[in-house]
Amino acid sequence: MNNYLKLLCFGALMMPAAASYAQNGIEYVKKAAELTQAGDYTGAITNYTKAIAINKNNKVILTILYDKRAACKTELKLYREAIADETIAIAASPQYPFAYWNRGFAYSRAGEFQQGINDYTKAIPFFKANNQNLSILYDNRGSNEVSLKQYDKAINDFTLAIAQHVPQGGAYWHRAFINNIKGNYQQAIDDYTSAIFYVTENPLQMALIYDGRGVSKRNLKQYRESINDFNTAIKLNPNSGNLYWHRGFTYQVNGDYQLAVDDYTAAMPFYQADKENLALLYENRSINETRSLQPQKAMDDISKAINLAPQSGDIYWTRGSIYSQIGEPGLAIDDFNKALQILKDNKMLAALHSEKATNLYVLNQNQQVIDECTTAIALNPYNISPYYTRGRAYLKMGADKQLALNDLNKVIGLDTAKSSVSYIFAQFYTGHPDLALQILQQQVLITPNPDDVLTHYYNIACVFSIMNKPDEANIYLKKAIDAGYSKKFAANDEDLNNIRKTPDYIAAMADSAVK
């Protein structure tokens, strides 16, 4: 998914309090203050400029006026001009702390984060006796460090901000965000929980915090609790497509595919003007439609995604995977080839070559299978799938059996979870059929989603067929087919060759309509 999607804006930094003025040009100063309050920053700048002209020889007043004019320029996004004014203010009065603060703020808004950090650092010593301002400065400096991906420094500054014991939840929120990036999910959850108490009067901010906490809980695989947080966020702000997207993705990883489809559908109206994200939503919805056995809807959605983002290698990859699952290996390979021309990341390319090899195997292009797998392994030697597919191709070609065993044993050694389909079938082909069946039958028992269970039924049918046990194979194949597994995929799968002529197989496949 869009992935993923920004949870908060670190640009929302806070400004220091106003200072007092002398009487020189007071009428312009008062008028400027009124215009600033009314949001007329251009008018305020004009009046501060007139006051500056009157006070050219008074460094104290001049410092304050340049500082105030700079603040108005920052509001108008005239950051370079604001920085120039603050630099004049600092030159006139190097001990005036608000000029460092406001120049740091202008640097931050201009995207010059290190300069912002430098100015916040200069301002901090002036406020050692003011916990409120000190907390804000540490928080602001931490936000700039986040922008530079200096996450450890940022966490330290957010912690210092929190240590000032002022009623300000931003630092908890910001620290939570970075803890989530760093993989400290429980610490992130704790900080989001603390931040909630400071924004109870602001439902939109509360929605963002519940959303962030939901993401952290999802990362800990606490899916039901995560969904509860997204539910709360949506109640607080039902007009955020982001929230439906995040909840939809959580439903997806929890195996609740139809609920994921519903949430991606709910998110789409919010992204009609954003082709890139709308394409991602169609892609995500198609993935879940495939998993919930709605192949035609999936194909319609992924085609819409390609029309919206024809240069996205990921989307061609997804369509290729859908073609593969519905038994169209040639069309799958075409899309994988398109994706290979666009994507650049080695791990992604390795996975693509591996999927392409799997479909070439169905088409009996065994030497191409070996070549594609070898390429995949060179790009990512820790991906187990190409070892398995290459091992089977070696067996199928009648090549040196030791080459096949080397690859299959490599799968067994690499898969520490001992649960992937490649691992299970590698065990089978290396002489452990009972262990393979045991793992598959355990997966049936522990898999909560029926759409996933049917895949286990199908794999069990394949194992029994290879073992030449047609009665058992047909029992599990019928379970899979009745639940909606693709007949066309089964018709192309050589693992079922031993039961093709049995009456039960013929009956199960009798309906010629492809699912």
- Give the Cα separation of 475 and 212 in Å (integer): 46
Say if residues 119 and 87 touch (Cβ distance below 8 Å).
no
Smallest CA-to-CA distance from 362 within 388, 334, 328, 395 is with: 328
At which residue do the structure tokens 């704790």 appear?
190
Q: How far apart are CA 467 and CA 459, in angstroms?
A: 12
- Provide the sign of the torsion angle of the four alpha carbons 71, 74, 80, 81, taken in this order: negative
What integer pLDDT is reported at residue 463 of this predicted model? 86
Query: According to the model, what pLDDT value does residue 452 have?
Result: 76
* Cβ-contact 357, 387 below 8 angstroms: no
Cα angle for residues 419, 425, 428 (degrees, 5° grid): 115
pLDDT tens-place string over residues 147-186: 999 999 999 999 999 999 887 788 999 999 999 999 999 9
Q: How far apart are CA 105 and CA 120, in angstroms?
A: 8
CB atoms within 10 A of CB 498: 18
Phi, psi values for residue 412, rounded to 5°:
-60, -40
pLDDT number for residue 11: 37
Rounded CA separation 192/212 (Å)? 7
Instruction: Say whether 56 sits in a helix, a strand or coil.
Output: coil
Per the CB < 8 A criterion, the answer to whether 134 and 123 are in contact is no
User: From the centroid of its chain, how far is CA 420?
Assistant: 24
369 closest CA partner among 409, 339, 399:
399
Calculate ∠ Cα 125-130-135, nearest 5°: 80
Task: Give me the amino acid identity at 124.
Answer: I
State residue 500's pLDDT score: 92
Measured at the CA of 134, the angle between CA 128 and CA 135, to 5 degrees, comes to 145
Residue 328: phi and psi, rounded to 5, are -120, 70
Q: Would you state the pLDDT for residue 473?
A: 87
* DSSP structure string for 454-485: HHHHHHHHHHHHHTT-HHHHHHHHHHHHHTT-
pLDDT digits (tens, 9 = 90+) for 30-85: 999 999 999 999 999 999 999 999 988 889 999 999 999 999 999 999 999 999 99
Angstrom distance (rounded) from CA 21 to CA 229: 49
Say how far apart CA 145 and CA 116 lie, in whole Å.
9
Confirm if 278 and 271 have CB atoms less than 8 A apart.
yes
CA distances, 448 to each of 259, 336, 443 (Å):
15, 31, 10
pLDDT for 511 equals 62
Number of Cβ within 10 Å of residue 133's Cβ equals: 22
Residue with tokens 């195996």: 255
Closest by CA position to 448, among listed 223, 208, 234: 223
Using alpha carbons, select from 476, 505, 470 the residue that is nearest to residue 491.
505
**Residues of the chain with confidence (pLDDT) below 70:** 1-24, 511-515
Q: For the domain covering 1-130, report its CATH number.
A: 1.25.40.10
Angstrom distance (rounded) from CA 308 to CA 318: 14
Q: What's this model's pTM, rounded to 2 decimal places?
A: 0.80
Contacts of 202 (CB under 8 A, 6+ apart): none
Tokens of 271: 């992204």
Write down the pLDDT at residue 5.
Answer: 27
